[in-house]
Amino acid sequence: MRFRVVTLNLEQDHKRWDARCPLVVEGMKTLDPDIIALNEVSIARQTARELQKNIRSERGIDYNLVQQTRVNGLASVEGEALLTRFAVVETGNLDFRTRDMVAQVTRILVGGKPSDVYVTHLYMSRGDDSLRLFQVQQLLAWIDKRNDVSDSIVCGDFNATLDMPSAALMASRFHPSQTPPTAFTPLARLDGAISHPYWPRMDRCIDYI
């Protein structure tokens, strides 16, 4: 059975969220995904629930929502989330115990067959990759313990290109769905301040399915 998966970092409710939200909903109407993996959902604004509600209103399609907040001081700030058309039979989470970051897993039924979908967001650093590598090692060990399904999908912002040890380790076990660079329009605030000014264009892929 074929189905469509997308992944998106919402950057919480920052950078003109009220203007961006309708654009995200419109994009999901065009892509028509069965599974939507989300990073940096805003817990305060409940942006994942807002998307769930707005997509239902615009498209008449119900998505099941699973969320996992980050831990400690960030638990009330942001988290990871999954929207899926498929039935949810189990959820779980992993605390990386580094930088208050987490991973979540959702077991879904696709054509009556169980599959695991993981959503994670790894440490952001333009230099040292060692902390991300440690997080990937933990993630893979967790996946190995959940070995009673034949199919697993891992989604999210890995903050690393495939030539870096952390992403290379993931790619040794999972096939990345996208590797070419992707041009993009940088997010900007109303005052014109650009998000990620050190990347004039997206000349790398760091988010994967």
Which residues are CB-contacts of 85 (< 8 A; sequence separation ≥ 6)? 34, 35, 61, 62, 63, 64
Segment 93-115, tens digit of pLDDT = 999 999 999 999 999 999 999 99
Segment 130-163, tens digit of pLDDT = 999 999 999 999 999 999 999 999 999 999 989 9
What is the reported pLDDT for 28? 94
Walk me through the domains of the chain, giving residue ranges and CATH numbers. Answer: 5-208 (3.60.10.10)
What is the reported pLDDT for 191? 82
- Which stretches of 61-202 are assigned E, i.e. beta strand? 64-69, 78-84, 87-95, 102-110, 113-121, 152-157
What stretch of H or E contains 97?
none
pLDDT beneath 50: ranges in the chain:
none
Alpha-carbon dihedral sign for residues 179, 183, 187, 191: positive
